[in-house]
Amino acid sequence: MASRSSVVRAARQLTSAAVKRPSPFACQQWRRTAQMPRLFTVSAQSKEKKYTEDHEWIEASADGKTYTLGISEYAAKALGDVVYIELPQVDLEVGEGDAIGAVESVKSASDILTPVSGTVAEVNEALEQKPGDINKDPEGEAWIAKITVSGEPAGKLMSEAEYKEFTEEA
Amino acid sequence: MSSKRVVAKLQPAVNASVTRALRPEFAQRLQYSTRTIANQATTPRKLEARQLQPFVRLASSEASAEKPARTGLYELHSKYGAKFVPFGGYEMPVQYSDLSIIDSHNWTREKASLFDVGHMVQHHFSGPGAEAFLESITPSSISTLPPNQSTLSTLLHPESGGIVDDTVIARLPDRFYVVTNAGCREKDKAYLSEQLESWKQKNPDQPVEWNILDGQGLIALQGPLSADILSRVLADESVLTLKSLYFGQCTPATIKGTDVEVLVSRAGYTGEDGFEISIPSAATEAVTQFLLDNAKDELRFAGLGARDTLRLEAGMCLYGHDLDDTTTPVEAALSWIIGKDRRAKGGFHGDSVILQQLKKKSEGGGVSRRRIGLIVEGSPAREGAEIVSESGEKIGNITSGCPSPTLKKNISMGYIKDGLHKAGTEVQVVVRGKKRKAVVTKMPFVPSKYFKQPTTAKA
């Protein structure tokens, strides 16, 4: 729908490099092919915070069974004053790439896409009352949801350094 | 104190315009943008801002590969930390680094903001046939429009009465000053050329001269402190004139300490008191800087982001969203722009359709949809969202929407089935697949604070 756009598009809007970006479809294809090798890389390093090209972040719990998901500081800054956050319902089953909620700022509505499949275990209800908190601490207190996963995240994920580079070249 | 410096700053600009005017390529424009600035009126117009759109429109803005133009204030915007987006064929500031959109919005309602609206298209129509020509393409009563007075109007398609563009038309002593939307520039040009051609053929004895004021600056000073701030940069006699310049009126004015003539219209697109100021190209930047320098703690630049939330709160339409080629003024809740004499006699494009729509339902009149305001619970409802009934049947659609910084509620504008348009009607709006409660609400959402002529005689 016309008035919806992903966080990535919102963030892109601040830059002029949008044209160069792969379309979501291209991305998904890529994810599928990338899935296989990833199965073998279950290691401690996968528990560090990772970022998506759509400007979400995920971080695994110590046991690796639950991932906390939020939007990046870059995205929060790009969106501006956030006035409403639509959270997913607890127990909702979600698939990789699904829109599980949305962030509404004065200027736009942006979907929150999950890079992991699983079940929503917990949502940050405090954001319903104080959506503006997401502008203050998007990668900490203002996390969005926790998702219990059955496997490893499959799509393209970036380390903090890679993500930083990604947003700088954008 | 600072006026001396300003003279120094402005004077070269003025001189520059004179030399420029001598060059052949400027000769034609000169006549309109330099010599006559003194008695032009500017009516600024309503604007459009749609900030939201650039987001959504990425695809199409990529498609039109043409390089966006820049207004004469581009450098100044950059200096003040503007973030630019493509809009109406121009690179326009959407916001500035000093204030968020909400802060900028509130700043406008509490103090004053300065908007660059130089991307809008300013026209002059003159000649013996100008008045009748404008009456043929708009439903406004141009013949009863007093000098130095402006009116909101619409350019209409022949037959259908659909809106080609919305516009503000001002009568200056010797011509009409018309401002149209930047986004409709090419469409309007084609339309006006065609209409003038056909006018010429039918009325060879009533010539109309049409000129577009390319490069002429246009800024909007909006907010409760606007009159105070503007007074600081005007020559004494112009300051006096300002005191009795009411909403909808315009006047030529002189910038203090210079001979720069601008056209000041008490108008705007925010619902606040304010002015739109049409400035000769060469002096636009200097005059704008002069304003900013004279109100350091009160005046800030504001961009398209705040402009959109402000105009929505004020219940004003944005062409291409709340109005389009298929909408008639009656459907758009703009019947008030149709002049009394025009209702009786017609004689404008689409008059048979529009006058029929104005009639009572019992006489076969009315419309099937009407523009309304809505307050929506939960999530903001933006353009494209459907309005549905309790049973889920589609009864309308949203054309603009945002969270209102002033009301702290979600406001939207849209079209709804006739009969359901009364204030207080409860409906639902579908956002991300979920129905949200909404109530039809009178517009403006935030009461306007125009500086109106006292109704008790001005004798």
The pLDDT score that the predictor gives to residue B309 is 97
Q: Answer for the pair B338, B328: CB distance below 8 angstroms, yes or no.
A: no
Complex ipTM, two decimals? 0.74
Separation between Cα atoms, residue B187 and residue B203, nearest integer Å = 24
Contact B125, B178 (CB under 8 A): yes
Residues 6+ apart with CB under 8 A from A105: A10, A79, A80, A81, A82, A83
> Residue with structure tokens 């004689």?
B347
Nearest-CA distance A107 → chain B (Å) = 5
The token pair at B362 is 């019992």
- Residue found under tokens 């007074």: B231
B370: phi then psi, degrees, rounded to nearest 5: -140, 145
Whether chain A has a CB inside 8 Å of the CB on B81: the answer is no
Picking from B357, B428, B451, B30, the residue whose alpha carbon sits closest to that of residue B161 is: B357
pLDDT band at A6 (very low <50, low <70, confident <90, very high): low
Looking at the DSSP bridge assignments, the partners of residue A169 are none
With an 8 Å Cβ cutoff, are A13 and B51 in contact? no
Burial class from Cβ neighbours inside 10 Å (0-12, 13-18, 19+) for residue B24 reads exposed
Please name the helix (run of DSSP H) or strand (run of DSSP E) that holds residue B15, with its range, or none: helix B3-22
Tokens of A168: 């700088």
The Cα–Cα gap between A25 and A48 comes to 27
- Indicate if the pLDDT at residue A37 is higher than 50: no
Contacts (Cβ under 8 Å, ≥6 apart) of B104: B95, B96, B113, B300, B302, B303, B305, B306
Q: Distance between CA B87 and CA B58 in Å, rounded?
A: 11
Let me know: does B426 contact B437? Beta carbons within 8 Å. yes
- Looking up tokens 């410096």, which residue turns up? B5
| Distance, C-alpha A29 to centroid of its chain | 18
Please say whether the beta carbons of B251 and B204 come within 8 A: no
pLDDT at B65: 54
Q: Has residue A34 got a pLDDT over 60?
A: no
How far apart are alpha carbons B43 and B276 in whole angstroms? 7
pLDDT at B228: 98
Contact A9 B55 (CB under 8 A): yes
> Tokens 């929407």 correspond to what residue?
B401
Number of Cα atoms under 13 Å in the Cβ half of residue B242: 25
Chain B partners within 8 Å of A80 (Cβ): 95, 100-101, 305
Burial per residue of B130-143, b for 16 or more beta-carbon CB atoms within 10 angstroms, e otherwise: bbebbbbbbbbbbe
Q: Does B61 touch chain A (CB under 8 A)?
A: no
Q: Reduced to 3 states, what is the DSSP secondary structure of residue B21?
A: helix
What's the helix, strand, coil split of chain A in %, to 5?
30, 25, 40
Residues B408 and B392: beta-carbon distance below 8 Å: no
| Predicted local confidence at residue B25, as pLDDT | 32
What is the structure's pLDDT at A150? 78
Walk along chain B (459 residues) and give the pLDDT tens digit of each residue: 444 455 455 544 443 333 333 333 332 222 222 222 223 333 333 333 333 333 333 333 333 457 899 999 999 999 999 999 999 999 999 999 999 999 999 999 999 999 999 999 999 999 999 999 999 999 999 999 999 999 999 999 999 999 999 999 999 999 999 999 999 999 999 999 999 999 999 999 999 999 999 999 999 999 999 999 999 999 999 999 999 999 999 999 999 999 999 999 999 999 999 999 999 999 999 999 999 999 999 999 999 999 999 999 999 999 999 999 999 999 999 999 999 999 999 999 999 999 999 999 999 999 999 999 999 999 999 999 999 999 999 999 999 999 999 999 999 999 999 999 999 999 999 999 999 999 999 999 999 999 998 876 544
For an interface test with A, give the residue of B51, B52, B53 to mutate (most A CBs within 10 A): B52
pLDDT of residue B455: 78
- Enter the DSSP assignment of B377: S
Angle between helix axes B185-202 and B130-137 (nearest 10 degrees) is 120
Residues from chain B contacting residue A109 (CB–CB below 8 Å)? 379-380, 382, 431-432
Cα separation, B185 vs B94, in Å, equals: 20
- B384 contacts A2? CB cut-off 8 A: yes
The pTM of this model reads 0.83
Chain-chain contact of B305 with A86 (C-beta, under 8 angstroms):
no
All residues of chain B having their beta carbon less than 8 Å from the beta carbon of residue A9 are 55, 58
Instruction: Specify the higher pLDDT residue, A41 or B28.
Output: A41
DSSP states along B181-240: -GGGHHHHHHHHHHHHHHHHHH-TTS--EEEE-TT-EEEEEESTTHHHHHHHTB-HHHHH
For residue A7, the model assigns a pLDDT of: 53
B402 reaches A (C-beta below 8 A): yes
Q: Give the torsion sign (CA, B32, B33, B37, B42).
A: positive
Residues B74 and B81: beta-carbon distance below 8 Å: no
Region of A110 (left: φ > 0; alpha: ψ -120 to 50; beta: rest) is: beta
Which amino acid is residue A52, in one-letter code?
A: T
Report how far residue A121's alpha carbon sits from residue A143's, in angstroms, rounded to the nearest whole number: 13
Residue B268 near chain A (CB below 8 Å): no
Closest CA to B113 of B134, B132, B98: B98
Question: Has B276 been labeled as part of a binding site?
Answer: yes
Smallest Cβ–Cβ distance between B403 and the set A5, A19, A106 belongs to: A106
User: Which one of A79, A98, A107 would you mutate to disrupt binding with B, by most B Cβ within 10 Å of its Cβ?
Assistant: A107
Terminal CA-CA length for chain B = 37
Tell me how far the alpha carbon of residue B344 is from its chain's centroid.
28
Measured between beta carbons, the chain A residues lying within 8 angstroms of B62 are: 18-19
Which two three-digit tokens encode residue B402?
């945002």
CA dihedral for A32, A33, A37, A38, sign (positive or negative):
negative
Reported as a single tens digit per residue, the pLDDT across A60-107 is 999 889 999 999 999 999 888 899 999 999 999 999 999 999 999 998
Q: Do A9 and B95 touch (CB under 8 A)?
A: no
